[in-house]
Structure 1
Amino acid sequence: MKLRDLYTKIKDILKEASESSGSEALSILSKVTGRSREGLLMDFEEEVSEAQCQLAVSLARKRASGYPLQYITEKCYFYGLELYVCEGVFIPRMETEVLVDLSLQVIEEKNIELVADVGTGTGCIAIAIALNSQCEVFATDISEKALQVAKKNAEKYQVQIGLLKGPYLEPLLHFLDRVQLIVSNPPYVSSLAQLPADVQKEPSEALFAGEDGLDFYRNFFSVPSLLRGKTIIMEMSPEQESGLRELLQNLGKLSFFKDQFNRTRFFKLEME
């Protein structure tokens, strides 16, 4: 079978599951053949082996069943970076790039020297900050697999990041006094939420935080004295603004920021 015909076949498999069936078909073909998307387009008349055809069709059907494309291709993109990702690790979202922008602004304004990324996943936030500042960066996660993925991504971009395992502030306690900025894209989805099929394949501990989605914030800020004088920037869900105002109002100067789609998506808390 020619590449062109295989492309058409897997695009047809994907058309009911994806609004970008053509692009996703190219991504799957790239994974199967080891060629770039551009190279595929240039060689559309070449023959493909039967084994590659079978694998491509199998992966397309897996994607059509609701399995995330990023887990199939083992690639995700964030802040201009191509990162490795695999099943069991949260897939970065475009919106979170704004969190990096906000962090870099604070780093410059306050001459921040040490940043901690809590719940790092692929390491995307920590790596983007390390590449775009002179800060010392640490990253934590409760998942050993996530830390392994973050390590692989940090090595790819040759950045030094301290990777620590544990929940909330626990891995940072022995040097928390030196940490000036804490950033996080924590779990904030309501446990009652009905999520799309592909999102359901991501790790639940990276998504859910109680019925109102605020459990992570409650636990993180439960001992405010540990955070005195620090700046915290976190992602949130737009409908959580009032709940977060109530939870955090007496802890310091609280500001909210919008994402690229004009939805309230982040808060900055300058702890007193």
Structure 2
Amino acid sequence: MAESLAEEAGRITITTLLREGIKRLQAAGIESAGQEALWILEAVLERTHLQLRLDGERPVSPVQHQRAEDLLRRRAAREPLQYLLGSQEFCGRAFTVTPAVLIPRPETELLVEETARRLVTTPRPLIADVGTGSGCIAVSLALNLPQAEIYGIDCSRAALQVAHENLMRHGVADRVTLMKGDLLEPLETVSAQGRVTAILSNPPYIPEDELDRLQPEVGRFEPRLALAGGPDGLTIHRRLISGALRYLAHGGILAMEVGAGSAPACVDLVRAQGGYRTIRTIPDQQGIERIVWAERPA
């Protein structure tokens, strides 16, 4: 029986497997079923898109067939493709991701772009990435600001392990220090009071009553700790706004990502706190006010 199954699997061609994969993902409601099935086969067969097309009539091995079937089954169950393949692109670079970390989103690239633009002429800036997760923000800034010293902070040891892998992957482990702890507290251990050039964060910002309405890929598989932002989605933002002034240097920056529609309320919190100036919002490509930016007076 085992031999006959292996022989049967060996006769399945790349084209047939791709066609069956697309049908399975379409039946599961995956909008980009064709592209995702193609990405899965590229990973399993270690071939490019073009090679898959050119070698369409080539049979797949029983091991490859089983591996593809497993990934397609899991994707049909709405497990995020990024976790299945173990990678996600951010700022033009590939980052390792696991279920221990939030999957990087394009809108978060705004934090990197705006901070790099603002600090490009600043000598030896000190930057804290609070809630570093995969380390995508810290790594991207280290690569764009070679003179920067960066702290990547997270309360999850598993997330920090992923971040460390990404530091090594991109060759910046000598300039990014990972620290375990709650929000800004680890900065106390390095006497950072009044010395930090920029505090950046993509904190949890999903309101509690919206968590159960998230799409399955997010609500069922991404870490809840990185999603749940309290009753109004701004619980962590409040703590950052009140705590950052202790560590920011004069002229220092506090930049936080916020959920859709939350920017005005977050700006109000910053103004009510006092001690900040140049308070503004930065929209993403969809026109959503995505970043709240504030500075400590020089």
* TM-score, with structure 1 as normaliser: 0.94
Contact 2:263 2:291 in 1 (8 A): no
- Per mean C-alpha deviation after superposition, the further-off stretch among 104-113 and 49-58 is 104-113
CA RMSD of aligned residues (A): 1.6
Match of 2:7 in 1: none
Q: Match for residue 213 of structure 1?
A: 233
If you compute each CA radius of gyration, which structure gives the higher value, 1 or 2? 2
Q: Is the 8 A contact 2:245 2:275 kept in 1?
A: no
In the TM superposition, what whole-angstrom CA distance separates every residue of 1:41-92 from its partner, at most 9, and x where no partner exists?
3322211012322321222121112110001111101000011111121100
Q: Is the contact made by 1:3 and 1:48 (CA closer than 8 Å) also made in structure 2?
A: yes
Query: Which of the numbers 179, 184, 199 marks the counterpart of 2:218?
Result: 199
Which residue does the alignment assign to 1:171?
186
Query: Helix, strand or coil for the counterpart of 2:200?
Result: strand
- What fraction of aligned residue pairs are identical, expressed as a percent? 36
**What is residue 41 of structure 2 aligned with on the other side?**
29
Whether 1:87 and 2:99 are equivalent positions in the alignment is yes
TM-superposed deviation, 1:112: 5.6
Query: CA offsets per residue over residues 124-180 of structure 1, 9 Å max, x none?
Result: 111111111121111111111111111111111111311111111011122323321
- Find the aligned partners of 2:280 and 2:121 in 1 and give their Cα distance: 16
**How far 1:26 sits from its partner (Å)?**
1.5
State the partner residue of 1:15: 26
Unaligned runs of 5+ in 1: none
Which residue of the other structure, out of 255, 258, 266, is the alignment partner of 1:233?
A: 255
2:291 matched residue in structure 1: 266
Distance (Å, rounded) in 1 between the aligned partners of 2:222 and 2:296: 32
Provide the C-alpha distance between the structure 1 equivalents of 2:31 and 2:245, rounded to a whole number of angstroms: 48
| Aligned equivalent of 1:186 | 203
List gaps (5 residues or longer) in structure 2. 1-11
Which residue of structure 1 aligns with residue 5 of structure 2?
none
What is the aligned counterpart of 1:251 among 275, 282, 298? 275
Given the two structures, how large is their TM-score scaled by the length of structure 2? 0.86
CA distance in structure 2 between the aligned counterparts of 1:223 and 1:163, rounded to whole angstroms: 20
SS at match of 1:222: helix
Offset of residue 259 of structure 1 = 0.5
Q: Is the 8 A contact 2:139 2:167 kept in 1?
A: yes
Secondary structure of 1:226's match?
coil
Counting matched residue pairs gives: 272
- SS in structure 2 opposite 1:210? coil
